[in-house]
Structure 1
Amino acid sequence: MDSHLIDMNGRLGFTKRFPYIYRGYWHIGSKIDDLKGIEHIVPLRKSRRYDVPLHPQQTVVQFNSTYLETIGRNDRRRGDAVVVSGALAGLGIYMLIPFMSFALEDLLNGDYFSSLFLVIVSLTVGIVTFLMLFAVSTEVLTSRHYPVRFNRKTRKVYVRQYNKKVEVFNWSDIHFYIFYMKEDADIRGVKFASDGETIEAMFALPFHIKGDEEELIMHFEFFTSYMSKNEKQFLQAKNAVRYVYPIHKYRETPIQSLERIKLEFHFDHMNMEYPKETVMPKYIFAIFSPMIAIRYVGRLISMLTCYRHRFPEAIEAECKIDPNDPYDLNKYLPEGNLEQNNKLFWKTVINLIMFLCALILLLFVGAFLIDMMGAARPHGDYPSLVDKLWYMVSLGWLP
């Protein structure tokens, strides 16, 4: 199961309704050494200096002397469920209606075996379609981001989980581990029950990568340096930040959406705060432009339909920022921040045109495949989606 649907408790959005299907990801209440779906874990120590560079990896939403707020673990994949699960749900609905009509027709004609078979197929397609629609609901009409907020003064961590619950951790109670899974690895903050082994609560740091322990340690060191009571370490964390992502205040712009999608095409074993050094060769973008276009559409839909997250008033009261704080990076933007780079506009326009062309091509491929399935069905002819799509794209509908 792809981890992009796993919430920071290690539970899927489906789990409360379908606990037996996704039982392997029910980590809360499990022993730390007996987690299903985890290949192995590596403990990290908050008190240890790992003597590595600090890598925020473009995950910072707010930075000041009071608290550090980051995006959630799955921000880089935001919108994927909208397009993938949405497309599968649309295909399921497209198939479901004729299957049900064929089943009814066979029943009326006395072909009970064929009717039963089509009913079973319809139920299967219906269940899969429902699950896909539920997956879409995890990225639409929900929070624009799932913040993890580290408060230096109260020594608390506030986490907005994917189940919409806000959990509060004491920094001293959190044990950190690198969790290695089949698809990638991340860093989890774990709170144990009194026995010291059973997981009582859990959240993830925002950056994840496939199999690079050193890079994860660099990311971990950024947070421990920020939370350190040593002023020098705090300043090192502050100086490591070159980008802030103000999703807490403003809806993500189309330019920002594209830049966030492109983070997947950086060498994430390097410091992505310096994108000119970490970006992959341009031909990589050309090769993957159809996929980028699809993901971009999904992210736009997700961001346009989601709302701004707000912590409860009691938490905000604990997180008041000094209006004269010289280290408020949302007020004093660090060098290199996206909002200061006006040259991105025309580059983004060109990319959008390229992605739009790639998306239209993919729509034609999808329409052709659906027409092929329609042609294989019995009981008559069906309208061609390719012809309808060409009618729209060629502007044949204009007077």
Structure 2
Amino acid sequence: MGISHDIGLFFPFKVNRPLTAEEKKRRFVQGRRRRCPGEAAVLDFETVIRINTTYLEVIDKFHSTRGMITAFIMGFCIMIVFFLSVITKIVIFNNGSILGFIFYFVAFGICFYFLIRILLKEWFRYTHYPVRFNRKTRQVHIFQVSGEIITVPWNKIYFTTNRQRLNECIVGHILAEDNDTVLNTFSFGHVGTRDELSRYWEFIRCYMEEDCVAELAATVLYCPPVEYGREGYITGLQMLLQVESRLEWLPTLLLLPLSLVESVSRYIGTQTSRRPQWSAEVEMACRPEPGDPVNVGAEHNGPGRWRTVLANEPRAVYDAKNQYLKDANQKIRDKMAHNRAMNVTMSGTTGDSNTWG
């Protein structure tokens, strides 16, 4: 296992430091079930690339917002090129000041250099940075932003949250032998509220620790189509335009010009970037069983994606989907309760390692 820290996408994680009090308070603990209020015990938030009985592969936390930051940078770069072209034309055809031209050229050139460095955080890199949770070997394979692949035992990772302005994401810390010093950090999947992350964590934890893989796979209704090819323009645009309710239609419409620019930047970044390739060792360790009854990926995505993106499904379809997820979650709860009862019966005790938290 490599311990060199990830370089991060836009901002690197702080490493070689002790865990903070907040990280300890917000820890997600392996082997401890979480009580999630409401009907949905687990949710995947459309982050699953592939799920089968051997491994669960999820997308990186940057996927949903890819193109947003670089759209502004792309705009500034175009403006700089335009101004330099105008200044050059003035100097050549209108006998402008050479010293003024040199000054503006150097100033804009320095700005252009730093803007390009930010732009290249998404362009000419990798299309995404997946994480694989191997249920059978109990290992986690991480494709880092640096391109390095590291493998860490599931129980050796310190899972907690990292603040993202108004929202948070789940991160995994790799600690030193003192179990307090952070050597490396990776993030993955959904960015959202604490309540959403509890459901998302329970989805991941259940996959790794509970006997309910088929039930979990039944809750996966959409997979980002990035496993075998690059994301298309329309798919990227849909990701940027996705809303939770029809109340968001008006602000989405007002921001449509900006979203279109972001979609262009996202598409350029996707088309100029390499697809991540797992090492032969990881592929061998994650080789699915022949005839695996659980195997869900983007090829199972249903029709009518635009309706889902714009929260414009017919009421009957919307209610049927929610009822389906409610029933699937209830099956997960029932399966875990049954498994826990069996463990209690077999061990002859009133508790097990999977305590509720």
TM above 0.5, one fold? Answer: yes
Whether 1:329 and 2:296 are equivalent positions in the alignment is yes
Contact persistence 2:224–2:298 (CA under 8 A): no
What are the within-5 Å matches in structure 2 for residues 77-156 of structure 1?
77-96=65-84, 115=99, 122-156=105-139
Aligned residues: 300
Whether 1:219 and 2:200 are equivalent positions in the alignment is yes
Whether 1:43 and 2:27 are equivalent positions in the alignment is yes
Whether 1:240 and 2:219 are equivalent positions in the alignment is yes
What are the within-5 Å matches in structure 2 for residues 289-328 of structure 1?
289-328=256-295
What are the within-5 Å matches in structure 2 for residues 302-381 of structure 1?
302-330=269-297, 333=300, 337=301, 340-341=302-303, 343-344=304-305
* Cα gap change, 1:48 to 1:301, in 2 (>3 Å): same
Q: Deviations over 1:163-202 (max 9, x none)?
A: 1111211111101111224353111111111222211111
Give the C-alpha shift of residue 67 in structure 1: 0.5
What are the within-5 Å matches in structure 2 for residues 166-181 of structure 1?
166-181=149-164
Q: Deviations over 1:15-55 (max 9, x none)?
A: xxxxxxx7xx5512122229xxx999622212211122211
Give the C-alpha shift of residue 130 in structure 1: 1.1
From 23, 27, 40, the counterpart of 2:14: 27
Partner SS state of residue 288, structure 2? coil
Amino acid at match of 1:33: T
Give the C-alpha shift of residue 285 in structure 1: 2.6
Contact persistence 1:102–1:118 (CA under 8 A): no
Amino acid at match of 1:83: A
Which ranges of structure 1 fall in alignment gaps of 5 or more residues?
Answer: 1-8, 15-21, 109-114, 267-277, 349-399
Partner SS state of residue 157, structure 1? strand
Amino acid at match of 1:85: I
- Ranked by relative contact order (alpha carbons within 8 Å, sequence separation 6 or more), the top structure is 2
Contact persistence 1:103–1:119 (CA under 8 A): no
Amino acid at match of 2:113: F
Aligned position for 2:144: 161
Separation of aligned partners in 2, 1:39 and 1:88: 37
Partner SS state of residue 206, structure 1? strand
Give the C-alpha shift of residue 101 in structure 1: 8.7
User: Normalised by the size of structure 1, how large is the TM-score?
Assistant: 0.66
Give the C-alpha shift of residue 119 in structure 1: 5.2
Contact persistence 1:223–1:237 (CA under 8 A): no
Give the C-alpha shift of residue 156 in structure 1: 1.0
Q: Deviations over 1:234-288 (max 9, x none)?
A: 344223211122311132233322222223x33xxxxxxxxxxx56543333222
* Cα gap change, 1:238 to 1:92, in 2 (>3 Å): same
Would you identify which runs of 4 or more consecutive aligned residues in structure 1 move more than 6 Å? 38-41, 100-108, 345-348
Contact persistence 2:49–2:298 (CA under 8 A): no
* Cα gap change, 1:344 to 1:73, in 2 (>3 Å): closer
Q: Deviations over 1:66-105 (max 9, x none)?
A: 1011111100111224422111122223334566898998
Aligned position for 2:211: 231
What are the within-5 Å matches in structure 2 for residues 177-196 of structure 1?
177-196=160-179
Task: Give the share of equivalent positions with the same residue, in percent.
Answer: 22
Contact persistence 2:131–2:141 (CA under 8 A): yes
Partner SS state of residue 33, structure 2? coil
Contact persistence 2:45–2:200 (CA under 8 A): yes
* Cα gap change, 1:42 to 1:98, in 2 (>3 Å): same
From 228, 231, 237, the counterpart of 1:249: 228
Aligned position for 2:349: none
Aligned position for 1:3: none
Contact persistence 1:150–1:157 (CA under 8 A): yes
Give the C-alpha shift of residue 136 in structure 1: 1.9
Which ranges of structure 2 fall in alignment gaps of 5 or more residues?
Answer: 310-357
Separation of aligned partners in 2, 1:126 and 1:219: 45
Aligned position for 2:318: none
Aligned position for 1:204: 187
Partner SS state of residue 57, structure 1? coil
Contact persistence 2:168–2:191 (CA under 8 A): yes
Partner SS state of residue 141, structure 2? strand
Separation of aligned partners in 2, 1:285 and 1:179: 27
Q: Deviations over 1:348-369 (max 9, x none)?
A: 9xxxxxxxxxxxxxxxxxxxxx
Aligned position for 1:260: 239
Separation of aligned partners in 1, 2:56 and 2:163: 26
Separation of aligned partners in 1, 2:257 and 2:115: 22
